[in-house]
Amino acid sequence: MREITVAHSPDSDDAFMFYALATGKLDTGDLTFTHTLADIETLNRRALEGTYDVTAVSIHGYAYVADRYALLSSGASMGQNYGPIVVAAHPLEPDELREKTIAVPGTLTTAFLVLQLYWPDVQYTVLPFDRILEAVADGSVPAGLIIHEGQLTYREHGLHKVLDLGQWWQEQTGLPLPLGGNAIRRDLGPEIVSRVARLVKASIQYALDHREEALTYAMGFARGMDAALTDRFVDMYVNRLTLDYGARGREAVARLLRMAYERELLPHPVDIEFVE
């Protein structure tokens, strides 16, 4: 047996995607998959060290590991006219936050990169993603950059949306916002890489074809969301672009990383490779 280490976020959308692989629904032959769960900024940092064979990674984080990892063509999380949001305790216009410190969930997240594209001189402090809503609500920080299920639950904390970066990106480019993907170590070799790519795509397809049972599994990772909200969240980030980036998805990744380099937010151009 050949062990393949897989790491992804403990979120309902990732759990939905990996349901079939994590629960033995697929025939994986002589490959056995070991799963590790960690928040996306931790996974970005571990990808810098090449810790896992397959790992969820922010598209921003991928810019720093493209020499070691390729992007699987399946597993993208893309916001289609929606994405990470900036929230505050009171209704504000975006310009009212320009001189204020914004809590962000990590400097390698795509959310932070897009925030920098919007506000190049943004003032920020880093907090774990699951502490940002509370920090904004209790006044510890004036505003927060929200990812994951917080995009749907921020109102429960009495907060107000100031800016939707996915909408802004759509207005600027006409493209979906590529937030994250699955990356695979190049040194596994072409044969293993190809087999793993097929299995990851098969896992996503299985979840889409068996939505009710996959959602039941994903509910275990929903962090307080009810079934209806979990269904909505999964639907936002597991869709046809998750099965394959497609031409527009690939263009979106290239545009984001090229724009970031041109604006000196990345130290070098990124050679993007997708594994079919």
Catalytic residue positions? Answer: 148
Sheet of strand 85-88, all strands in order from the earlier edge strand to the far edge: 123-126, 101-104, 143-146, 85-88, 160-164
> What six digits make up the tokens of 50?
């090449």
**Cα end-to-end distance, the chain, whole Å:** 24
Beta bridge partners of 275: 72
Region for 237 from its dihedrals, namely left if φ exceeds 0, alpha if ψ lies in -120 to 50, beta otherwise: alpha
**Structure-token match 């999964």, residue found:** 234
